[in-house]
Amino acid sequence: GQHLITAIAEQMFGFKTTSWELGRQRSVIELDTPSMTAEQVEALERSVNEKIRERVPVTVRELAADDPKIETVRSRGLPDDHAGPVRVVDIEGIDSNMCCGTHVSNLSDLQVIKLLGTEKGKKNKTNLVFLAGNRVLKSIEQSHSTEKALTSLLKNGPGEHVEAVKRLQSSVKLLQKNNLNLLRDIAVLIARDFRSKPVQSQLFVLHRKEGDSEFMNIIANEIGTEETLLFLTVGDEKEAGLFLLAGPVEAVENLGPRVAELLGGKGAGKRGRFQGKATKMSRRGEVQALLQEFISHRSPEA
* Span 61-75, average pLDDT: 81
Which pLDDT band holds residue 286 (cuts at 50, 70, 90)? very high
pLDDT, residue 116, reads 97
16: domain CATH number is: 3.30.980.10
Do 192 and 255 belong together in one domain?
A: yes
Task: Identify whether 167 is part of a domain.
Answer: no
The answer as to whether 35 is a domain residue is yes
Q: Are residues 34 and 181 in the same domain?
A: no
**Residue 240 and residue 144 share a domain:** no
Cβ atoms of 41 and 115 closer than 8 Å = yes
Say if residue 76's pLDDT is above 70: no
Residues 107, 44: one domain? yes
Residue 160 inside a domain? The answer is: no
Report yes or no on 129 lying in a domain: yes
pLDDT at 138: 96
How high is the mean pLDDT of the chain? 92
Question: Do residues 7 and 150 share a domain?
Answer: yes
* pLDDT reported for residue 302: 41
As a 3-state breakdown, the chain gives helix, strand, coil percent values, each rounded to 5, of 45, 25, 30
| Same domain, residue pair 98 and 180 | no
Residue 179 to residue 274: CA distance in whole angstroms? 25
Same domain, yes or no: 124 and 215: no
- 169 part of a folded domain: no
Same-domain check for residues 60 and 128: yes
* Position 166 in a domain: no
Same domain, 112 and 201: no
- Domain extent at residue 279: 175-298
pTM over 0.85: no
Residue pLDDT, tens place only, 126-165: 999 999 999 999 999 999 999 999 999 999 999 999 999 9
Q: Where are the alpha helices (DSSP H) in the chain?
A: 2-13, 38-53, 134-154, 161-195, 213-223, 249-262, 284-297
Do β-strands 58-63 and 86-91 pair in parallel, antiparallel, or remain unpaired?
antiparallel
Please check whether residue 170 lies inside any domain of the structure. Answer: no
Q: What is the pLDDT of residues 14-39, one digit of tens each?
A: 999 999 999 999 999 999 999 999 99
Give percent of the chain with pLDDT exceeding 90.
76
Residue 266 lies in a domain: yes
Query: Is the pLDDT assigned to residue 42 strictly greater than 60?
Result: yes
Here the CATH number for the domain that contains residue 238 is: 3.10.310.40
Find all residues with CB under 8 Å of 296, minimum gap 6, and list them.
Answer: none
* Whether residues 290 and 187 fall in one domain: yes
For range 274-284, the mean pLDDT: 94
Regarding whether 184 and 80 lie in a shared domain, the answer is no
Total domains present in the chain: 2
Same-domain status, 131 and 219: no
- Residue 63 pLDDT: 87
Q: With 70 as the cut, is the pLDDT of residue 83 above it?
A: yes
Q: What is the DSSP letter of 263?
A: T
Q: Are 158 and 151 in contact (CB under 8 A)?
A: yes
